[in-house]
């Protein structure tokens, strides 16, 4: 890691890999026309990683769409030479660009990153931002997928040869996650108490302080065994407390607690701050209003200027690590949740947690199945 950071401090490129996908990366603050040319010769689309706060302050949030939290932009007034692209990126990074100066779509792809980087979401954009930040720069990275000379997406073997030929350091996301987990702790158990419940028996109630706020964790029995039953449940005031029929959240919460009680052991992590898939209570109610006019749950988020799902599970992963858990049976229908926890090193098996659709929430569940890939058995 020290050698890689030294390279970036000099403004050099590094290669960041996620399995077989490999990306050239450099600090956005050091971007030059020469670097743009190098990227254009060896890579596909050029990307710029920005945190959501930066995207929002620039007014770019309204242009984000469902395809992986990316938007493609160009400057309105300039030709798109290497010099122009470098200058354009610098103006975005320095917040000296007005929204009226930006053309959509374009050839520079802006990708949103999570505040806590790979410890919140283990993606390429977060990894590039993290290593740039570790090198002393602002967390904005310019990066692009490495391509072979015949125009194919480069695999890990090609990336390693390319790195050797060009004296470029290479790092895998897993190594970056491991490094940050060893050197940083983003969760702190503040308290533990006994919590008897009316319907689900007695739990140990653990309170964690995290950058996302205070998180409640309910633990039953010995959870140091293999294949621990786990539910990571996003806060839903309307569903969990008021029993709204618009979603299946409340019923999923009840089902998870019943399953843990029957099992005699398990963990429920109640993720506060993830209301409405991360957009907040007021915005969720605004999404409900749009749904009353025929917009589905996915498109409603997009119309409000948010990605369809802003949640991430790095905090939950660190809580599970703090509890000594290594392999889990995850109560979920969400494939993204499974994939993300696996990237943090957990062995994950899925346990279905479906509830009977109602006339009110059927369209909501269909949208989650059809547009977000959730594992749901809904009859056509």
The catalytic residue among 107, 309, 366, 370 is 309
Catalytic-residue membership of 272: no
- Residues making up the binding site for GTP: 231-235, 252, 275-277, 297, 332, 337
Residues 6+ apart with CB under 8 A from 187: 208, 209, 210, 215, 315, 318, 319, 322
Is 260 strand, coil or helix?
Answer: helix
Catalytic-residue membership of 309: yes
Angle between helices 124-134 and 173-183 (to 10 degrees): 50
Q: Which of 317, 215, 219 is CA-nearest to residue 260?
A: 219
Q: Please give the Cα distance from 203 to 195 (Å, whole number).
A: 5
Q: Please give the Cα distance from 10 to 79 (Å, whole number).
A: 29
Angle between helices 33-42 and 82-93 (to 10 degrees): 110
Q: Which of 137, 176, 193, 147 is CA-nearest to residue 24?
A: 147
Strand pairing class (202-210; 228-234): unpaired
Q: Which of 272, 256, 278, 251 is CA-nearest to residue 328?
A: 256
Residue 148 token pair: 């072979």
- Residues making up the binding site for Zn(2+): 236, 247, 249
- Residues making up the binding site: 231-236, 247, 249, 252, 275-277, 297, 332, 337
The catalytic residue among 121, 246, 311, 329 is 311
Q: Please give the Cα distance from 78 to 143 (Å, whole number).
A: 22
Residue 207 token pair: 């309170």
Residue indicated by tokens 């984000």: 64
* Residues belonging to the active site: 309, 311
């Amino acid at each position: 890691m020290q050698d890689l950071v030294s390279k970036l401090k000099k403004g050099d490129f590094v290669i960041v890999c996620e399995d077989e996908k490999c990306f050239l990366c450099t600090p956005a603050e050091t971007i030059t026309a020469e670097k743009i040319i190098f990227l254009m010769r060896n890579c596909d689309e050029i990307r710029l990683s920005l945190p959501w706060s930066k995207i929002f302050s620039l007014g770019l949030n309204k242009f984000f769409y469902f395809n992986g939290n990316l938007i493609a932009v160009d400057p309105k007034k300039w030709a798109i030479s290497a010099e122009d692209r470098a200058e354009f990126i610098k103006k975005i990074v320095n917040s000296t660009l007005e929204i009226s100066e930006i053309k959509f779509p374009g050839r520079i792809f802006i990708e949103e990153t999570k505040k806590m980087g790979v410890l919140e979401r283990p993606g390429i954009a977060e990894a590039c931002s993290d290593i740039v930040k570790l090198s002393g720069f602002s967390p904005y990275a310019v990066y692009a997928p490495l391509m072979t000379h015949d125009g194919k997406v480069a695999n890990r073997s090609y990336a390693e040869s390319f790195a050797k030929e060009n004296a470029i350091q290479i790092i895998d996301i897993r190594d970056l996650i491991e490094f940050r987990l060893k050197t940083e702790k983003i969760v702190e158990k503040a308290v533990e108490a006994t919590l008897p419940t009316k319907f689900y028996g007695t739990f140990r109630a653990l309170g964690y302080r995290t950058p996302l706020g205070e998180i409640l964790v309910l633990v039953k029995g010995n959870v140091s065994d293999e294949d621990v039953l786990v539910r990571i449940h996003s806060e839903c005031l309307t569903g969990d407390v008021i029993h709204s029929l618009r979603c299946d959240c409340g019923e999923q919460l009840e089902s998870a607690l019943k399953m843990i009680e029957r099992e005699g052991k398990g963990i429920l992590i109640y993720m506060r701050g993830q209301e409405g898939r991360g957009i907040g209570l007021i915005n969720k109610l605004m999404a409900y209003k749009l749904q009353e006019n025929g917009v589905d749950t996915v498109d409603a988020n997009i119309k409000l200027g948010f990605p369809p799902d802003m949640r991430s599970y790095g905090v939950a992963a660190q809580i599970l690590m703090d509890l000594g858990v290594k392999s889990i049976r995850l109560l979920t229908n969400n494939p993204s949740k499974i994939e993300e926890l696996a990237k943090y090193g957990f062995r994950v098996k899925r346990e279905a947690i479906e509830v009977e659709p109602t006339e009110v929430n059927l369209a909501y569940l269909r949208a989650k199945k059809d547009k977000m890939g959730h594992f749901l058995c809904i009859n056509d």
